[in-house]
């Protein structure tokens, strides 16, 4: 299984995640944009995810709610700014538990035949926000999500 590569250069406002998946680009794009598929891979395994809203179009909103074993909920939301199927998604991302800390996320899907290289770049409003996201354990959560994503792609 290909592993997640995370780059967060000191002093920069960005986190860049890359990983190659064993699926054609159209299938990868569908898994990112289909509300019935997102709960099967988004977030770490110990949480369940519900898609509360997902209108994949310019200006459309998305909102996912995660729940842990104790019933605690964590909600995330954003707005789509660009959808270029099957190669690019641009949207905002905000954890509702920390309102006002909005980042801009760009997901690029590079066609590699029967594989797809995903490059996910998050631009934060401040270096402190970026460093806070890393300190929250996002790397482990992202790695788990992307492992689940690879498992789902193998079934599509």
* 95 part of a folded domain: yes
**CATH code at position 50:** 3.30.530.20
Strands (E), the chain: 5-7, 14-21, 48-54, 61-67, 73-84, 88-95, 103-112, 115-123
* 37 part of a folded domain: no
* 23 part of a folded domain: no
Q: Residue 44's pLDDT is what? A: 93
Mean pLDDT of 49-68: 98
Q: Which of 45-49, 121-125, 138-142 has the lowest mean pLDDT?
A: 138-142
Mean pLDDT of 38-62: 97
What is the pLDDT confidence band of residue 2, given thresholds at 50, 70 and 90? low
Number of domains in the chain: 1
* 88 part of a folded domain: yes
89-102 pLDDT tens trace? 999 999 999 999 99
* 130 part of a folded domain: no
Are 141 and 124 within 8 A, CB to CB? no
Q: What domain range is 112 assigned to?
A: 46-125
* 3 part of a folded domain: no
Are 77 and 60 within 8 A, CB to CB? no
More confident residue, 146 or 138: 146
With vertex at residue 142, the alpha carbon angle to CA 84 and CA 32, rounded to the nearest 5 degrees, is 25
């Amino acid at each position: 299984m290909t592993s997640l590569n995370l780059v967060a250069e000191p002093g920069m406002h960005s986190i860049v995640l890359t990983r190659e998946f064993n699926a054609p680009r159209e299938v990868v794009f569908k898994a990112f944009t289909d509300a019935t598929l997102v709960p099967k891979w988004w977030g770490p395994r110990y949480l369940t995810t519900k898609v509360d809203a997902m209108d994949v179009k310019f200006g459309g909103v998305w909102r996912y709610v995660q729940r842990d074993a104790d019933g605690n909920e964590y909600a995330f939301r954003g707005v789509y700014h660009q959808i270029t199927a099957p190669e690019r998604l641009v949207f905002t991302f905000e954890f509702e538990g920390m309102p006002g800390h909005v980042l801009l996320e760009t997901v690029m899907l590079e066609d590699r035949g029967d594989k797809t290289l995903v490059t996910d770049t998050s631009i934060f409003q401040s270096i402190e926000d970026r460093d806070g996201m890393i300190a929250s354990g996002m790397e482990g959560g992202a790695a788990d999500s992307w492992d689940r994503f690879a498992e789902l792609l193998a079934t599509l």
